[in-house]
Amino acid sequence: MEIISQSPVATVVFLFILATSIYAFYANPTLLRKLMLHPFSIHRNRKLYGLLSSGFAHADWNHLLFNSFTFFFFAFELERIIGHWQFAVIYFGGLFLSDISTIIKYKNNTGYYSLGASGAISAVLFSYILFLPLTKIYLFIIPIGIPAYIFAGLYLSYCYVAAKKAADHINHDAHFWGALAGVVLTILLMPKVITHFLEQVLRQ
* Ordered per-residue pLDDT tens for the chain, 204 residues: 777 778 999 999 999 999 999 998 887 778 888 889 999 999 898 889 989 999 998 988 999 999 999 999 999 999 999 999 999 999 999 999 999 989 999 999 999 999 989 999 999 999 999 999 999 998 776 678 899 999 999 999 999 999 888 777 789 999 999 999 999 999 999 999 999 999 999 987
For residue 29, the model assigns a pLDDT of 72
Q: Are 115 and 58 in contact (CB under 8 A)?
A: yes
DSSP 135-182: -EEEETTEEEEEEHHHHHHHHHHHHHHHHHH--SS--HHHHHHHHHHH
Which pLDDT value is given to residue 170? 85
- Alpha carbon 118 to its chain centroid, in Å, reads 4
Q: What is the pLDDT of residue 93?
A: 96
For residue 24, give Cα distances in angstroms to 14, 28, 64, 144.
16, 5, 12, 36
pLDDT of residue 147: 94
Q: Where in the chain are the domains?
A: 2-203
Residue 16: its pLDDT value, please?
Answer: 94
pLDDT of residue 30: 80
Phi-psi region of 81 (alpha: psi -120 to 50; beta: other; left: phi over 0): alpha
Cβ count near 176 (within 10 Å): 23
d(CA 201, CA 204): 6
CB within 8 Å of 78: residues ≥ 6 apart? 10, 87, 90, 124, 127, 128, 131
- Return d(Cα 76, Cα 11) in angstroms, integer: 7
Nearest to 9 by CA among 120, 108, 145: 120
The yes/no answer on whether domain 2-203 falls in CATH 3.50.50.60 is: no
Which pLDDT does position 47 carry in this prediction?
87
Judge contact between 127 and 90, C-beta under 8 A.
Answer: yes
